[in-house]
Homo-oligomer: A and B are copies of this chain.
Amino acid sequence: MTASTDKDPGTPERAEAWLASGHLRPTRQRLALARLLVGDGRNRHVTAESLHEAAGLAEMPVSLATVYNTLRAFCDAGLMHEITVDGTRSYFDTRIDDHTHYFWEDEGRLTDAPNDAIRLAAPPDIPANATLARIDVVIRLRKATPEAIPEDR
């Protein structure tokens, strides 16, 4: 697709500003991960594992434990959101406004859905003495191909 693959881990400036906006110290590892996440200004949906691998491929290796700790720090700082769709892994999203997701069950991939995918009737019937924290909408998709099933996992 659009460049920013392989050799381009994104501009450091954006990553630095991003960290600063979360009041997080710009350590080498955090900068590396931040560049991979927001360096090109686009949104990412990663798992700890996928980000760890991406860091290695970009020749900025970061230990898996640090990836976990850092993703948690980013979430605590309000820079990312954790999304639970799979039960076996957590996904982390750089886009922090409420929006709908597609979850591709065959590949375990999470992507953004178009903005108008779902319309809410209204902030609905929030029970008394409760506050709305978030609304998670996940549209689960399966490959429609009659043949072409890769494995049966």
What copy number does this chain have within its complex?
Answer: 2
> Chain B: which residue is nearest A138 at the CB level?
B136
Complexed CA–CA distance, A119 and B114 (Å): 16
Interface flag for A144 (CB, 8 Å): yes
A120 CB–B CB distance under 8 Å: yes
B-facing mask of A30-64, CB < 8 A → 1, else 0?
Answer: 00000000000000000000000000000000000
Binding site for B on A (CB under 8 A): 82, 84-87, 90, 102, 104-105, 113-114, 116-121, 124-127, 129-145
- Identify the 4 closest CB pairs spanning chains A and B, nearest first: A119-B121, A117-B124, A133-B140, A84-B87
In the bound complex, residues from chain B placing their C-beta under 8 Å from that of A135 are: 118, 137-140
The reply to whether A137 and B140 contact each other, CB–CB distance below 8 Å, is no
